[in-house]
Amino acid sequence: MAYCVSITKAGAPSVLEIQDIEVPSPKEGEICIEVHYAGINFADTLMRLGLYQPRPPYPFTPGYEVSGVVHSVSKNTRGEFEIGQRVVAAMPTGGQCSHVAVKTSRVIAIPDEMGLDEAAAMPVTYLTSHHMLHHLGNLRKEDSVLIHGGAGGVGTAALQLCRWAGIERVWATASGSKREIIESLGGSAIDRHNEDFVAIIKEGTDGRGVDHILDPIGGNNLTRSLSVLAEGGKLYTYGLSAAAPTAKRSLFKAFRALRKTPKFDALKLMTRNRGVFGVHMGTWKNEEIMAQQLRRIMEGYAQGHLKPVIDSVFDAKDVAKAHQHIHDAKNVGKVLLRFNK
């Protein structure tokens, strides 16, 4: 019997359940994957709290990325993928299941040297960071970058992408205990609890600011990020962790974070030649561009430029513990769920 993670209602990690399901039969243009690993992202915790959109109606299964082996294929896809083949998939949602049916346009084979755990750690984090820095940002070697949450999944991926691109001026915020991982990936660490990133960036750039800023925090942090964005710079907002500082649902804290989130003035952005991008790979519909970026990411892995940082692997039945681990900001890199035990 197959099974899945289910969010039954908005609330603390205790609302997460494991439910039995039927093994899905792939439709035309799909394959069914027997999932070995599925990624967890901060977006999943926000969805559980009822603070993230779009969100399916309750109950629903979260999850944007899986790795495993091909379980079955639909008739018209035979020859494209083989049963037993090792693959990774970027899911629109519903990935935290022992078996998933997914469109072949969202699936690519993984090389023999790549572990299935590494594969599951790559789609969301590396796609998000690559999409921001390269597809939207046209990152150049002479650019400068500020990464908030530099020790998380997207943060460590972005640091590696910057190093691959030859970027020399990269700053990343995180708690002081995570300084070592940031510096090991080529970034200059900023203690987000005890140091002022605005002052550090202004001093480090002689007041000019940085060319790219990755901000998953939102709220007032986004306003402060905008204050150190250089002329011609690009600010990417891809989360609102300020709305969920703990594992418990608090509409007051969410409202406060939203209230402090800046309302961007188009005229000011125009006159100061700065841009703001909102990024949500779960709603990105151009699958051809997504596939191109995934292939580029796999090239980076094969060439030794990219190496997923995996913090921990939880059994699927311990998904509530995994969510709490992320809320407590204990992770350095990616958190995964294991489904094949």
CATH code at 104? 3.90.180.10
Q: Are residues 209 and 248 in the same domain?
A: yes
Q: Does a structural domain hold residue 317? A: yes
CA distance 151 to 149: 6
Q: What angle do CA 199, 205, 208 make, to 5 degrees?
A: 95
Q: What is the dihedral of CA 108, 88, 122, 160, to 10 degrees?
A: -40
Cα 107 to Cα 98, 232, 237, 291, 320: the distances in Å are 16, 36, 26, 8, 28
Q: Does a structural domain hold residue 229? A: yes
Question: What stretches in the chain show pLDDT beneath 70?
Answer: 78, 240-260, 341
Q: Are residues 159 and 69 in the same domain?
A: no
**DSSP-assigned beta bridge partners for residue 99:** 34
Per the structure, the complete domain to which residue 202 belongs is given by: 137-280
Q: Are residues 229 and 111 in the same domain?
A: no
CA distance 237 to 261: 11
Q: Are residues 194 and 322 in the same domain?
A: no
Amino acid of residue 252 = F
Q: Are residues 274 and 323 in the same domain?
A: no
Q: Are residues 86 and 12 in the same domain?
A: yes
Supply the pLDDT for residue 77. Answer: 75
Q: Are residues 146 and 272 in the same domain?
A: yes
Q: Are residues 75 and 197 in the same domain?
A: no
Q: Are residues 157 and 272 in the same domain?
A: yes
Supply the pLDDT for residue 107. Answer: 93
Q: Does a structural domain hold residue 45? A: yes
Q: Does a structural domain hold residue 159? A: yes
Q: Does a structural domain hold residue 293? A: no
Q: Give the count of domains, the chain.
A: 2
Whether pTM > 0.75 for this model: the answer is: yes
Q: Does a structural domain hold residue 300? A: no
CATH of the domain at 250: 3.40.50.720
Q: Are residues 87 and 173 in the same domain?
A: no
Supply the pLDDT for residue 151. Answer: 94
Q: Does a structural domain hold residue 301? A: no
Amino acid of residue 89 = A
Q: Are residues 19 and 110 in the same domain?
A: yes
Supply the pLDDT for residue 158. Answer: 98
Q: Does a structural domain hold residue 303? A: no
